[in-house]
Structures are given as structure tokens and as C-alpha cells.
Structure 1
């Protein structure tokens, strides 16, 4: 059985990343089969509960208020609308619902109270609930945990050295501190990054080192391909190669063997064959549904057809147990 390590060096990760491609895929697939049901893929659905108007300057993001991207600002959605979206996602095969809000950080106000109510309601449907709301204090993380939050997403985006080129309105340490608060609240950590930002391979390796040398590996690591959006500083970035995506997924799978590696943004630009290579390399989670916050994404029907073709099966909710005790209105397979 593959050893789970927390002391990876950049040199070791670089050696893995630069392994001849077919050998790398084989190694990653072997690790995947040792540690996971390789044919089982978690399906998550991502909805924006509060859209646009964010004060941050993330160079890739269409929701930043300072960029003219055509994204309209919307106030927080009614709880009933979120529950309806969750029920639709569950019917489509999703076991996790992720709710995103275009905030720099969570504030203790009525909007946060509404999010807490949404978390409890969606958890009551028997779905894992994930939120991505920006920076959190320890107390806010605990309130989310008490409401039944299963996971919290807070991506590192890129390496620490490259970070200031992409975002200047918060620091890398701010990111890591929020992840620490999430971990202390016993909420599952979801944290990964984006490739195609103009970063170097060394930046990608550095980001994987940060993730794989945490005291506990993130339970979920999304690997996103940049979706360039007109009006953002990265609008003219070329599409990232599928081979780069495969290398990132395979390397993440090898250095974090028990982590769910999520094939995230950019799938609309990938063929079924290209996505199949990512699954072979160790990806075992996707976002399904027609949008990822504000960017396009394949539909549930398209993904179900791909699953049938490739012999993949959707993972059930709470497979690793339910960390927070809340009432649900149906039995959930553990």
C-alpha cells in the first residue's frame, strides 16, 4: 500500500511531474487503485448564492467589481431557490452541493445567517454541503460546522511566489490561515489551484508541495484549468494543454494518495477522451451542472452519458462518515 507522506520536497515532486507521460499515468493509476475505488467519481454541483461585486482583484475572476465582465451583481438568493437547486442537482446524481458567495471575507451579518440556514436545509436533504465564501475567522468556521457544513473550499490558486502576480488584495498567509480555521472546526478541507494563469511549472510544483506537506492533506484538491473571461487581466491567456492537466492530476494523486482529486473548471473545452485520460490519471471528482458560478460547464445529462461510456459510477454522499451531527430526513449510506 502506498505510504501517505507529509514531507515531500520540491525536487521529489518535480521528478514525479516530469516522468514520461505514459509512465506517469500508469504510476498514478496504480496508486489510485490501491487507495480508492477508481471507477467511483464524486459528482458535485456548484451554485452562486451571491454573485458579483467582489472587492478583490483576482486576475482570473469575472466577479471582481473592478473588471467589466458583463456579470450582473445579484443579492443573496432566497433559501427556497437554493433548496430547489439542491434537489435538482441531487436528482441529477450529485452527492455534494457547493455554495459560493462573491465575498472577500465572511461578515457576521444577516447574509451569513441566511447562508447558515441554507447549509442546514441542504444537509437535511442528505447531501454533503460545501461553501466557498472567502476568508473565515475561527468563530465563523465553528458556526458553519455547527450548522452542518461538510466541506469548505478555499483554493491556493498558485504558488506562494506567484501569488502576488494574481492577487494583491489578500496574502498567501491569509489563505493558509482560513484553511487552518476550517481544519480546527473539523470541517473537510477543499483546496487546490488553477493552471493556465501564466505560471511556471515550478509554480505548479510549489503549490503541490504546499498542499502535500500540510499536517493533514486536504480531503479534496480541485485542479482547475483557467477559463479566460473577457474583461479580466487574464482574458488573453491561451487554453492550457490537456497534457498539463493530466500531469497535475497524476502528480497530485501520487503525492496525496487518499485525497479526492477534482477535475474542475475547464471541462467544457475538453473532449470525452481528454477527460478519460484525467480519470485514468487519478481524478475522482467533477463538478456537474451547466455553470460553475458564472462560467460554462457540461450538463448532468452529458456527464451521465460519459459515465456510462467509461464505466464510472457516482459516489454516494457521506462515504467517509458525517463529521457534524445534524438531523436528516432520510437514511444516508455511509
Structure 2
């Protein structure tokens, strides 16, 4: 046990000194004994506080185009391949989105992310989204983020011109697992869009979903793949099985495995926002208190793409309760 604690401290010191840890170090941290997971979490929390202070990044989402997506991602209730009974709607008016963005800002959200369920935006839909962004900029004044699928370089450049702060495009899972999760596009397709986003000067948000039936080794693989991209934000979802999808009977991850993921990512990416995303209310008994003290420093509040979440007031109270700030 002393050797394990020594190794955790050594890795922590390497992070503090700017040396960082290697992918091999990350694998060793991920595989420490269960009894040392609290020590790992404590060290990750100290890294978070040192690099990021007490601030928790609070975000709200707006699923502006819902369901009937052409891709077959096996976890997703919005795929046209699966009968999940989720309602379908197309892009709303800019006025409708502005009302919701104002509400998000009034409730204390720092950023507002526009998400659309499609492979990529058509020219017509992209123009509509750009108009929505302009209206939010003019009438609300909140950081706008987008998750619109695959982008062309021209589209990414346009989003940058509209002062979109950050673009989300998740890896979803590790490269070795990806073909089991999706067959309608490839892992490399996703990396290509991330590079397009980077080249346009947008901040990068990327992450994935844990609990898809992947091995711990594949979670380590994903963590190292994310670290290689050095995104400004990492968003980690915890699977909520959706009836009608191939993963509807997937067994929940152990809490210790979730803590390992968030903690090790913090060692790898000390300066990034690490956000607890979909699934925290259903997979965690404390809605994220433990993870916000184990490496995470961001949450999504007030619901997700196809399911509800905590009211923002409850989340802000939770953040305050554990001595953090939003």
C-alpha cells in the first residue's frame, strides 16, 4: 500500500511541476487497488484546486433538433435505427431558443450549448443555426457552444466568426471499441472534425461515454486518447440505458470505476474543464458531489438531450454545500 501511495504522490508532483504523467503512468493509476481509489481521488482533487481553483463550470444544453439521426450509435435514443419512442422535432425558431438561453443565464449557467441530432448540418440548417447564435449573442450575452456533428472547414470558420466559444464533438469511446458501437462512420471521421475545429481556432470539447460494456483497459485507452488532444474541456457521460437501443440491458459501472476515470483524466489534463455530463443523476447517489472532489470541475444542469436532470437550484446548492463556487 505504501508503494501505491508513493506512486500516486510521485505522479501528482510530476503534474504540479509541469512534467506531467505518461500513458504508462495513467495505466498504473487506473489499476491501483480498490482501497487506494480514495487516495487517487484526493490527489486528483488537489490538482483540480491548484490549477482551477474552486470554480465549477455550469452549462445548460438545448437539443435544437431531436431524434431521427442517420447514425447507428448503439447507445443513442435519437438514432433512426432504433424504436425508442422519443419525440422528434426540427429546428425551432430563434425566438424560442433565445427565451431558453435567457432562462439559462438567469439561473446561473456560464455557457449554453446548442446540440443537434444529425450526422452533419445541411447548408440550410447550418444557416438557421447561425441565425440562432446571432440572436443569442445580441439578446442574451451568454457563452455559446455548439455540438452539430461533422463540420466543414468553412462551417467551423463561420462559427468562430460568430464568437462560438467551444465546439463539442465526442470520441464516444476508445478506438478499439468504436466499431462495436457505431458502423455508419469511423473513429477517424470524428478525429478529422476535431482537427477542423482546432484549425478554425475554436476551443475543443470532447469526451465520451463510459459504461458501454468497454473494458477498463479501453477506458484507459480513451483517457489517453483524450489527453493527446489536450482539449479545453472533457465531457464524460455515464451510460443511461435507453429502452429500444442495443444497450438497453447494459449493467451499471461500479462507482469506483467512475471515480478512476475522472481522477486519472485530471492527472492527464490538469488545466482542462472536466465535466460530469449525462447520467450523473441516475448513476450516482450524490448527483456528482464525490466526482467534483475527485477531479471533475464542471456539470451540465437542468437536463440533457433526451432526459431530465436536476433543477439548477438543486445543483447550485450542491456545489455550495461542498465548498465550491459556480
TM-score in terms of structure 2 length: 0.90
- Following the alignment from structure 2 to structure 1, what is the Cα–Cα distance between the partners of residues 221 and 283? 26
Specify whether residues 228 and 4 from structure 1 end up closer, same or farther in structure 2 by C-alpha distance, changes over 3 A only: farther
2:294 is aligned to 281
- Structure 1 segments, 4+ long, off by >3 Å, are 3-8, 270-274
The aligned counterpart of 2:246 is 233
| Distance 1:107-1:6 versus aligned 2 partners, 3 A rule | farther
Secondary structure class of the residue paired with 1:189: strand
Determine helix, strand or coil for the equivalent of 1:161. Answer: helix
Which of 43, 47, 54 is residue 58 of structure 2 equivalent to? 43
TM-score by length of 1: 0.88
Deviations 1:194-247 (A, max 9, x none): 100000011111111111123xx1000011100110001100112222222211
Q: Contact 2:115–2:147 at 8 Å: present in 1 too?
A: yes
How many angstroms apart in 2 are the aligned matches of 1:128 and 1:244?
Answer: 32
**Length, aligned pairs only:** 308
Is the aligned partner of 1:8 residue 2:37?
Answer: no
The aligned residue for residue 252 of structure 1 is: 265
Structure-1 separation of matches of 2:17 and 2:173? 26
SS, match of residue 35 in structure 1: helix
CA shift digits 1:34-71 (9 cap, x unpaired): 2111x210110011111111010000111101111011
Q: How far apart in 2 are the matches of 1:274 and 1:80? A: 32
Alpha-carbon distance between aligned partners in 2 of 1:108 and 1:8, rounded to the nearest angstrom: 42
3-state DSSP of counterpart to 1:45: strand
Q: Name the residue aligned to 1:327.
A: none
Higher mean C-alpha displacement, 49-58 vs 302-311: 302-311
Deviation digits for residues 239-297 of structure 1, max 9, x if unmatched? 222222211110010110001000111122255646221011111110011x2011221
Partner of 1:24: 40
Structure 2 regions of 5+ residues with no counterpart? 1-14
User: Does 1:148 pair with 2:168?
Assistant: no
> Is the counterpart of residue 94 in structure 1 residue 103 in structure 2?
no
The change in CA–CA distance for 1:183 and 1:297 in structure 2 (over 3 A counts) is same
Do residues 103 (structure 1) and 115 (structure 2) align? no
Shift of residue 308, structure 1, vs aligned partner: 2.7
Change (3 A) 1:312 1:7: closer
Partner of 1:330: none
- Shift of residue 114 of structure 1? 1.1
Aligned to 2:255: 242
Task: Considering fraction of residues, name the structure with more helix.
Answer: 2
* Inter-partner Cα distance in structure 2 for 1:234 and 1:189: 28
* Root mean square deviation, CA, Å: 1.6
**CA separation of 1:178 and 1:271: change in aligned 2, threshold 3 A:** closer
Deviation at 1:3, TM superposition (A): 4.8
DSSP 3-state at the match of 2:175: coil
For the residues of structure 2 that align with 1:311 and 1:118, how far apart are their CA atoms?
A: 36
